[in-house]
Every structure is written in structure tokens, then in C-alpha cells.
Structure 1
Amino acid sequence: LIMDFITEDVQAFNIVEQPSFITLVKGPAPNRSFMCYEMLTEQVERAYENVKAKFEGMRTFYTAANIWIAGRSFLGIVVHWLDSSSLECYSVALACCRTKGHAYDHEEVRAAFRIHSKVCCTITNNGSNFIKAFKEFADFQKAEGDMQASEDEEEDAIVFLDLDQISATHTLHLVATKDSHDYLSTGPLALKKLFWSIIAKFSALWNSVKVIAEKAKTQLIDPNVTRWNSFYHAYSKSQNTPEEVLHDLCDCLNLKRLREIELIFLNGNCHMMKSLACALDSLQGESKCFIGFLLTTISALQKKLEAMKYSLKFATPLGNAILRVLQKRFDIYFEDHSLIIANDLICLCSAPEKESKECGGAQ
């Protein structure tokens, strides 16, 4: 348990020697023996070797990488693979280390676990510096390989495969947050005024959670800017609050009441965002979501938004804007042959089950 805590929380190993930590752990059982620094190091080394041995029998992996640059830079890498018999998806965190060069550090970690030749792709977010680092490193490797092709050297070659696969969920996240917000805040003047009026009123409500808790006997969600669905849930919670309660809250806080047109706009916006939120939840599944579901999910989302934009007041401009952005951002995915093949395979695998259900319903 101590090793799990230290590795999963990325704690320094010498924490086991801190008196306060020892007191905390030994509190419930003072006579129990305690793990020292040397024992912890040995267990981590053993776990590291076990993971490498397990990877020996695997044929294909893909990795996900992310980087944090606030203060000191850290690179996090997770490896994923499918069990050949159950088709269950498994994952292991490989590293969370200080970084100087995104791509080279990533390759170092893969080489340490001896999976550098088995990784089919690496998924990153849409950060341009991350993608550029991978591309420049891959181009450098190719150029260096061309120059040294005629030389008989025995040095180990670094294999750097196609790593320009950006995260589709992060792309959809940008549609749900940045693109929709940009359109509403800079679009047609009437829509922009309506949007900023709602933002101002709800910002004041979110900043007065104590009054809301006392008056409405409930709590509105205070949105967190670091989470993709935070504003959607905050608006949805507010939209589900009875209209008279919202009016009372505005009166209590000396705010202008929400107008009927603003409530109608909020309702349409929440329905639009709900479709995006459901698609994101589907694509972010850990064990049962495969790459073959991507094109089907995006196509279904486009059809849903197309039908919805005419049934909700004030939703048509936003619906058209989101559909344009979806087409712009995801067109490249629909031209990817590997994604098309994966989509067809998923359709073939699910066809017998679907046919069986339809036959059962008919009977």
C-alpha cells in the first residue's frame, strides 16, 4: 500500500524516512514493522522488472503523453494495450519525469521498457508545441538515418514511429469549450449581447454560493475552468433551478432578473452542449471504447445537432457554428484509412448483435 501511494502520487522515496509520515502510518499499529527507503527501492525495482517482463509477450501498444509546464516541466506517459483473448483495454503509467525535450524524453522511456519497436502511435493533446516537438524529432531522425545509411555502425538505433496522432477527445473538447465560446462571444451582435448578459448574471450567482445555499436550499455548481464539462454542468444545474427561485436569488443579491429570452437561450444552449458532453463521455471510456467508434460517434453527433438546431429557439446559429467547426476539425479523421477500416470492423462485429436484437424484437 505504501509503494502504491508513493508511485501513484509521484512522491519522493525519502518520504518514508520522514518522522511525521512514520507516525501517520504506524499510528493504527505501533508494533508493525515499517518499510524503509531500501525496501521501497527494492520493491519498485521488482515491479519495474515485472512490467518489462509482461511487455515481452505483447505485440502492439499505443502510448498517451502529456506535459505540464507550470513551474518545472514534467512529462507523463501511459501505455495502453488490448488483451488478445478478452479484448479488454489495460493501461499502465510508465513515467512522470522532469523533461527538457518532449520527444526525446518520451523515446527514452519507451526504450527503457523495451517497447519502442512495438508502439504503433502516441496520442497527445492538441498543444502545438508538443506536436511540433514530435514532428521535428521524427524529421531529424529520418535525416540522420539517411546520412548514416552508408556507414557500418553498431550503435543501437532509435526507432521513432508515427507520433502525430492527436487526441480526438481533446479536439471535441475544444469544440465544446473554445469554439462554441468564441462564436457566442464574437458572433452576431444580438447573440453576443445575450450571451454576455447571461455570463454576467450567472457569474454573480456563482460568486454567492452561501446565499444561494441558504435561500434555495441547494447549491449551484461553481464552474472549474480546467474541466471540459464544468460550465455545461454549471449552466445545466442553473437551468434546472425553478424560475421563481432564480428570480428570488437575483432580488436577494440586487441583480437584474433573468429575462425570459435569456432563459430560453440557456435552455437551447444546454441541450446543444448535452449532445457534445454525451459524445465526449462515450469517447473517453476506459475499457470498452475503441478507435473504431470515433467516426460513428462524430457522425451521430452531427446528425443529432442537425436535427436539434431547428427544434430549439435561438439554437440555429450556434448549431450551424458547431457543425462547421466539427467538419473543419474532423474532416481529416474521415480521410484516415486506418480509422475507416477500424470503423468498418466495429460495424461488422456489432452487426450480428444488432440483427439478433432486431429479430428478437420482431418475434
Structure 2
Amino acid sequence: MEATAACRRQSSKEGSYNHLREFYDKVGENGNNLTFLCKLCPPAVKKKISTSVTSSANLKRHIELKHPVSLSRYVQANKKSKDSQDRSSTQIPLTAYSNGVDVITQPQLDNLVVQYIVGDLLPLRKVESPAFINLIKGLQPSKKVPSRKKVQTLLNKKYKENMCELKTELSEIDAVCTTADCWSAVNKAFIEITIHWLNKTDVSKRHSVVLACRQIKGAHTHDVLAKLLTDVYKEFEIHNKVVCTVTDNAANFVKAFNCFNFDQTKSEDEDEQVSAFAAASESSDEYAMEPEPLSGLEHSSLPPHRRCMAHTLNLVAKDTEKVSDERYRTMSRAVFAKASALWNLVRLSTTASDAVEEKLGIGFVVTNDMRWNSVFLAMERLSRIAKLTTKAEMNVAEVTPKNDATPLHDELLLHTVSDEFGFCRFSPQEVEFIHMFADVMRPLALALNILQAENNVFLGYLAPTIVQLQCHMNDLLYESRKPTAVEGLITCQPLIKTILESLSTRLAGLLEKREHILSAMLVPRFKLDWVQDEEKCMQYRLMLRREFQTLDSDDSAARESGQAQSSGGSDKKDPAESFFRFNKNTQVHKKSEVDAYLDAPTTDGFDEYMQFSKLRRLFIQHNTALPSSAPVERLFSIGGLIFRPRRNWLADANFEKQLILNANKKF
């Protein structure tokens, strides 16, 4: 029987990819992974793609990136195979597994129901639905469906257990980073706070949980936000453990941290940018309730503040709209006018969207003001579409050096879409501008994506990312000044200059900050590779040595204090012990831990910290912080699924419990 099952599984592996023989040949198998050879790529390339037996996403991605003309045929082949599998599949009755025997207890059933409610963000009244009751009774006839009141009690209990576990965990952590942001829905406003810390033994692992989601009543002034933040930090007893709080560049947050900072100093930027704008933004709603005075704030202090770098880079991207060069403005206005006409039609008309999908095999990406990279993503997709031609199977990889890799302008499929909807075609110069615009903005978009990550990014990524971004932009500027530069890149030269000027203005002094330099050097991927000046390399190396010595002095002081307490001052030291120093040469010529770490090659892993325990402590100290507040902004989507217009009666406490339990289910 086992041999038959194995044969059946093997045949299912083989059969699940038979419909793709037009595009791929299977050449290898390793456990749950299969290797295919692309038939569309030139034979000399021998492009191999590895994919899982349960997913063909890698195969589709290769077709989409390298052979976009064949994408529509690939999708149709996949669809036909899926339809045939659906018709041939049969459903196994649940009774075949249960055999009338109860497999779970009543508490287990209750717990599963709560997990279902929390996991799918459902209202508690779901347990009173006749369909849900019939489902539970059909699966477990002898069990009782928990009532709405019972589920509420279990939800409260689960929330308390989650908070107790979190407080216990935080009591053993020395350094944490928090992110905060405001969010509103159904005429209610909330402040959401997340907390992040690094594993003490494996610093590559970052733990992230939601700390609180509290309603804001009245105007969102700086003192109201300061009190809410301080109350949460006091509740979890982390006030002295927060290395920094990351927020966006909103004036109320900036003013809150400037006014209530722990040492009453400027947290990250000068107060000049806050004064007038903060006053205007806080008094913009003339009907808003005045907040109560900050009398209940016992500890009127907040941890150091850090502005979200992803938000700052988004502002850099916004600055590109202010390019004053007449040639660039004329070209960009014409391109974006035609592109916006297509985007708006596809967004508003399902018929137009279907027609585009049918003709091109892929659709347009529509801009969205709520997504920072939306304009770049829309132009990048338009650039890809502007390379598709009416030729059957024109493959860029097959173009020889003697041929031009750029498709003929009159054969672009983009023109057929414009003609069908009655829009003006893109001229050859405008098509070239689309490609160059995407190439110029791509480094900025990639930098933003790197810094707004959560699990695999640290504060030490900030300085190297900005340095690399500036290098990419300077390279593009150099290429645009060459006599052989293409017309589209020359047209985009003012765009490149604007990005460089905006980076210089908005990030002034950022690369010289001590915490950014130390945190970058402590990331094994960078060390000192991102520093181009030899003199600065020596200065930064000396800086890390001094920071390491500070850690040594702290350890020595703690050790001496412990020895004094253990001896109680009763034992007398032997004077001869401090006099004789034979064979105890203190000046041992041995490479220090800092030099051994910096002189070793860079690596993507963190195995070095297994032998450099003190440097590992420094890494946790300087890299616990995140460069952006993106983690807290991702909660908005969860909150929107819970706090819908039909659930506007939901109590604030229940809303917070459901959101936290859903977001912290992996904790």
C-alpha cells in the first residue's frame, strides 16, 4: 500500500507540470523541489529555474520577466490545467476521518472557535449564526457551540494571558524600540504602538508585537500624544528601556518629543521646522474639543525620537514634482497626462480593464496616494508594457548584438490599447522618457523598500543605504552628461539633480551622526565597506574602539562592585599580590576584538557574533532601533478589516483586544 501511495505521489508530481511542456523541460528533482530548463531562452543560456512541487510561482515569474509576450499563453495553459483538475477531483467525506468518535474536548472546541474569530477578524455574533451552529454540530454533534457571552469571556481571558506573557518577556529585555502612528476610521481616531527587540543570543532574529491601540479623544495635539505614549510605556514598565520611538514627520509627533524629551534636548532635528507648522496643524479644526491639561502625566518625559526614514524618502520622491526645467516639465506633463488617462479608465471601467488584460496579458498598475511607491510601480509597469510588440515571440534574450534590442515603435502593443480607447499615442521620445524615468526612480524605490522592512533590517542599514543611493544617482548623472547619452536620460537630468539636492537637504548631517556610524559598522554585511574616505575609515574604527572600551569599563566597574559586595570589606588584600608582576606582561600584542571583527571579510550572516560576545552586546544596543515606522502602519489594514462601518458600534476595548490578538498570534 505504501509503495502504491508513493507511486501515486510521484505521478502527481509529474502530471502537475505536464501542461507546461511548451515552456519547460524537467531536468532534476531534489526532495520537494523540481528543476526546469526554459525552452524559450536561447540554448546557449541554459536557464534553469527551481520551484516547489506545490507552487509554480517561480516558473511564472521567469516568463513574466524574460518572456512577457508568452505570458498570456502561459496563463491560459495554467487555467486549463486547473479547470481539468477541479472536474476530476473528488471530496472525501468528513465521516471517513471521525468514524463517529469525538476527537476534541469542549475546551478545545471553545479555544478553536476563539482562534477562528480572532484569526479572521469576525464579529462575535458569528457564533449565533445558524450556518455556523450547523457547521459545529455537524462536525461535533456531542459538543455545545459556545455562546456569544462565552466567547467574549474567553477573548478577555486570552487577551489577559497575552499581555501577561508580553510583560514577562519585556521584563527580561534590556533594549526595545517602539513605533507609533495615528489612524482614524468610522469617525474615531486611535494611536497604535508596536514594540521590537532583538534576540540576545541570535541577533538576526527580531521580535515584533503590538503594544497598544488606544482611542484619541479630542484634538491630536502634542501633549495628548505625549500622555498616551507615556501611559503605555508606564503600563508595560519599559520607560527606561526604549532606545527610541519611530514616528512619521507629522508636526504633532515632532513637537511632542521636542517638548517632552527625556533630557529636554532636540531629539533628531532642529525645532525650526516645527514651530509654525505645528501651531497651524494643531489648530486646523476649529470645532475640535480642547484636550485636558497634561496634569495626569507623572513622568512628563519621552524617549529619544527618530523620524521615519521611509517617510522622508517619500518626501524626496514628492520633491521631484517641483522640477523647474522647462524641457523636463513639458515632456513629463505630456507623458503623465496620457498615462493618467489610461490609468483612470482602467480604474473606473471593468470593460476597459478586461480589454487591456486580453490584449497585453498583464494590466496597468494604478497610482495610489496611500502607497509610497505607487507612482514608480505604475511607471515601471508602463515601461514593461511599452516593450511589448505585435511580433509573435520577440524575445529580448535572443537579440544578437548586431540587432537593436529596442522594439520598433510602430509595433508596440501599447499603441493598440491607446487606439482602442481613442487616446493619443505615445511618441518615440515619450516612450524613451518612460523607460528612463523608471530607471532613474528605481534606486530610490529600492532604498525605500529596504528601509521599510521589519524583520531583516536594522538601524545600521540606514547610512549604507543612503550612501549607495547617492552613488547610484551620481552614476546616472555622470552617464547623462556623456556625449553618447540617450535623449531620454538627458531629459531626465534635472530629475536626477533634484533627487540629489533633496537628499542633501532632507538628510543633512545624517551620515555624520554617531549612532548611524556605529550601527552601520556593527552590521557584518557592511562594516566599513560603505565608507569611501580612508581618513574617515580610521576615525570610525577609532570610534568603535572607544565605544568598546566604554563597555569594558562598565563591565570592570560592575565586577569590582560585585567583588566588594561579596567580600563585605572584611578580608584584607595581600600587599605582595599587587607588588610582584613576574611573567604577567599586560602589553600583549594581540589583535583586539574590534580589529579582528572589522578586518574579517563582510558576510550576510551573524555567525561572527558567536565569538565576539561584547560586540554582540554593542550590536543589540545600537541596532535594536528600526529606520522606519512602517510596522505600525501595516496595522492600519488589520484595523480597517475589524472596524468597518457595519461594526461602528464595537467598543474601543474589544477593538483593541481583537487587533492585538490577531497581530500577536505568532508571539
Shorter-chain-normalised TM-score: which range?
Answer: 0.7 to 0.9
Q: Which has the larger radius of gyration?
A: 2
Partners of 1:25 and 1:175 in 2: CA distance: 51
Query: Aligned letter for 1:200?
Result: A
| TM-score, length-scaled by structure 2 | 0.47
| CA contact 2:183–2:191 (8 Å) conserved in 1 | yes
Partner of 1:92: 209
Q: Judging changes above 3 Å, is the alpha-carbon distance between structure 1 residues 314 and 340 closer, same or farther for their aligned structure 2 residues? A: same
Q: Which runs of 5+ in 1 are unaligned?
A: 143-154, 358-363
Once the two structures are superposed, residues 162-217 of structure 1 have per-residue CA deviations (whole angstroms, 9 ceiling, x without a partner) of: 433101121112212x112233xxx1222212111111111111123323224333
Worse-superposed segment, 118-127 or 159-168: 159-168
Partners of 2:502 and 2:249 in 1: CA distance: 15
Once the two structures are superposed, residues 131-163 of structure 1 have per-residue CA deviations (whole angstroms, 9 ceiling, x without a partner) of: 113323348989xxxxxxxxxxxx995263443
Pairwise mapping of residues 1-363 of structure 1 onto structure 2 (< 5 A)? 3=114, 15-16=123-124, 18=125, 22-23=129-130, 25-26=132-133, 28-30=135-137, 31=140, 32=143, 33-34=145-146, 35-69=150-184, 71-87=187-203, 88-100=205-217, 101-138=224-261, 157-158=298-299, 160-176=301-317, 178-183=318-323, 187-209=324-346, 210=352, 211-241=355-385, 242=388, 244-311=412-479, 312-346=489-523, 347-348=526-527, 352-354=600-602
**Could you tell me the percent identity over the aligned residues?**
28
Query: Aligned letter for 1:181?
Result: E
Worse-superposed segment, 58-67 or 220-229: 220-229
> How well do the aligned residues superpose, as a CA RMSD in angstroms?
2.9
Query: Aligned letter for 1:46?
Result: E
Q: SS at 2:508's partner residue?
A: helix
Partners of 1:263 and 1:68 in 2: CA distance: 40
Q: Which runs of 5+ in 2 are unaligned?
A: 1-111, 218-223, 266-295, 347-351, 389-408, 480-488, 528-596, 606-667
Partners of 1:21 and 1:314 in 2: CA distance: 64
Partners of 2:131 and 2:370 in 1: CA distance: 32
Q: SS at 1:131's partner residue?
A: helix
Shift of 1:129: 2.1
Q: SS at 1:195's partner residue?
A: helix
Higher helix share: 1
| CA contact 1:229–1:277 (8 Å) conserved in 2 | yes
Query: Aligned letter for 1:56?
Result: S
Shift of 1:289: 1.0
Query: Aligned letter for 2:514?
Result: H
Partners of 2:319 and 2:129 in 1: CA distance: 50
Partner of 1:361: none
Worse-superposed segment, 133-142 or 82-91: 133-142
Q: Judging changes above 3 Å, is the alpha-carbon distance between structure 1 residues 81 and 5 closer, same or farther for their aligned structure 2 residues? A: farther
Partners of 1:355 and 1:36 in 2: CA distance: 50
Partner of 1:149: none
| CA contact 1:221–1:237 (8 Å) conserved in 2 | yes
| CA contact 1:63–1:121 (8 Å) conserved in 2 | yes
Q: SS at 2:173's partner residue?
A: coil
Worse-superposed segment, 26-35 or 347-356: 347-356
Shift of 1:345: 2.2
Q: Judging changes above 3 Å, is the alpha-carbon distance between structure 1 residues 219 and 81 closer, same or farther for their aligned structure 2 residues? A: same
Shift of 1:5: 6.6
Q: Judging changes above 3 Å, is the alpha-carbon distance between structure 1 residues 197 and 27 closer, same or farther for their aligned structure 2 residues? A: farther
Q: Judging changes above 3 Å, is the alpha-carbon distance between structure 1 residues 19 and 234 closer, same or farther for their aligned structure 2 residues? A: closer
Partner of 2:654: none
Partners of 2:321 and 2:181 in 1: CA distance: 25
Q: SS at 2:174's partner residue?
A: coil
Partners of 1:85 and 1:44 in 2: CA distance: 28
Larger RCO (CA within 8 A; separation ≥ 6):
2
Query: Aligned letter for 1:238?
Result: L
Partners of 1:218 and 1:299 in 2: CA distance: 35
| CA contact 2:191–2:213 (8 Å) conserved in 1 | yes
| TM-score, length-scaled by structure 1 | 0.84
Worse-superposed segment, 25-34 or 81-90: 25-34
| CA contact 1:310–1:316 (8 Å) conserved in 2 | no
Shift of 1:332: 2.9
Q: Judging changes above 3 Å, is the alpha-carbon distance between structure 1 residues 140 and 8 closer, same or farther for their aligned structure 2 residues? A: farther
Once the two structures are superposed, residues 2-60 of structure 1 have per-residue CA deviations (whole angstroms, 9 ceiling, x without a partner) of: 6567667887xxx32x2566556545423454352112111111111111111110111
Partners of 2:180 and 2:249 in 1: CA distance: 11
Query: Aligned letter for 2:169?
Result: K
